[in-house]
A and B are shown apart, each in its own frame.
Chain A
Amino acid sequence: MKPMPKSLYLAAGAYTVSLGTGRPEFNPRKPRPGLEHYIQEAGQASLAQISDPNLIDEGVIGNFMAARFNKQGHLGSLMTIAHPALEGKPMIRVEGACASGGLALATGIKSVLSGLAESVLVMGVEVQNTVKAIYGADILAGAGWYAGERKQGGTYFFPEKFSQRAGAFGAKFGEEKTRGAMAAWYATAVENARLNPLAQEHHNAVKDLMAQGLTPPDGRSFCEHLNLFHCSKVSDGGAAIIVCSKEGYKRLGLKRDDVVKIVGYGHAAANLTVPPPDLTELTTSRKASGLARKMAGISKDDYGVIEVHDCFSITGMLSLEALELVAPGESVELVIAGENKRNGRFPTNTGGGLVGYGHPTGATGVRMAVDLWKQLTGRAGDYQIPLKKEHGIMISMGGNDKTVVSLVVRK
Chain B
Amino acid sequence: MDLNTRLQNVAVIGSAGKMGSGISLLLALELAYRALENKDRTYLLNLIDVHDAALQGLIRYLREQATKDAEKQVSRLRRIYADREDLVENGEMVQEFVHEVLLHVRTGKSLALAKDSTLVFEAAFEKEDLKIGLYQELAALCPPEMFILTNTSSIPLHVLAEAAGISGRIIGYHFYNPPAVQKLLEIITPEVCDPDLQHLAAELAQVLGKQVVPSHDIAGFIGNGHFMRDGLHGLREVERLAQEHGFVKAVYLVDKVSRDWLLRPMGIFQLIDYVGVDVFQLILRVMEKYLQDGLHSPLIDRYLELGVKGGQTSSGAQKDGFLKYDKGRIVGVYDHEHREYVALDEAWIKATDELLGPHPEPKLSWKSLQRDPELDQKLRGFFQKCKESSSPGIELAKAHFLASRETSLRLVQDGVANSAEDVNKVLTLGFFHLYGPVNDYL
Task: Give A contacts to B, CB under 8 Å.
Answer: 132, 134-135, 137-138, 141, 146, 150-151, 154-155, 220
Contacts and interface: CB of A to CB of B under 8 A. Distances in A.
B75 A155 contact: yes
B75 A151 contact: no
Interface stretch (B87-95, B145-153, B298-306): B87-95
B85 A134 contact: no
Contacts of A141: 89
Contacts of A134: 71, 74, 90-91, 94
Given A138-B91, A220-B75, 8 more contacts: A132-B71, A134-B71, A134-B74, A134-B91, A138-B89, A151-B85, A155-B75, A155-B90
A227 B75 CA distance: 16
Contact of A135 (B75, B85, B91): B91
A154 B71 CA distance: 14
Main secondary structure of the interface of B (DSSP, over half): helix
A132 B90 CA distance: 11
Nearest to B81: A151
Nearest to A134: B90
Interface string B72-113: 001100100000010011110010000000000000000000
A141 B85 CA distance: 17
A150 B88 contact: yes
B88 A151 contact: yes
Contacts of A137: 90
Nearest to B68: A132
Nearest to A147: B88
Contacts of B89: 138, 141, 150
A146 B89 CA distance: 10
A141 B74 CA distance: 15
A151 B71 CA distance: 17
A220 B76 CA distance: 10
Interface residues of B, number: 10
Contacts, number: 25
Given A154-B75, A155-B74, A155-B78, A138 B85 contact: no
A154 B85 CA distance: 15
Contacts of A154: 75, 78
A155 B91 CA distance: 10
A406 B90 CA distance: 33
A62 B188 CA distance: 64
B381 to A, nearest CB: 25
A213 B88 CA distance: 32
A206 to B, nearest CB: 17
A155 B73 CA distance: 10
25 contacts: A132-B71, A134-B71, A134-B74, A134-B90, A134-B91, A134-B94, A135-B90, A135-B91, A137-B90, A138-B89, A138-B90, A138-B91, A141-B89, A146-B88, A150-B88, A150-B89, A151-B85, A151-B88, A154-B75, A154-B78, A155-B74, A155-B75, A155-B78, A155-B90, A220-B75
A138 B75 CA distance: 13
Nearest to B92: A138
A135 B95 CA distance: 12
A283 B74 CA distance: 32
A150 B88 CA distance: 7
B129 to A, nearest CB: 45
A153 to B, nearest CB: 9
Query: What 10 A-B pairs have minimum CB-CB distances, sorted nearest first?
Result: A138-B89, A155-B74, A134-B90, A155-B75, A151-B88, A138-B90, A135-B91, A150-B88, A134-B74, A138-B91
A347 to B, nearest CB: 38
Contacts of A138: 89-91
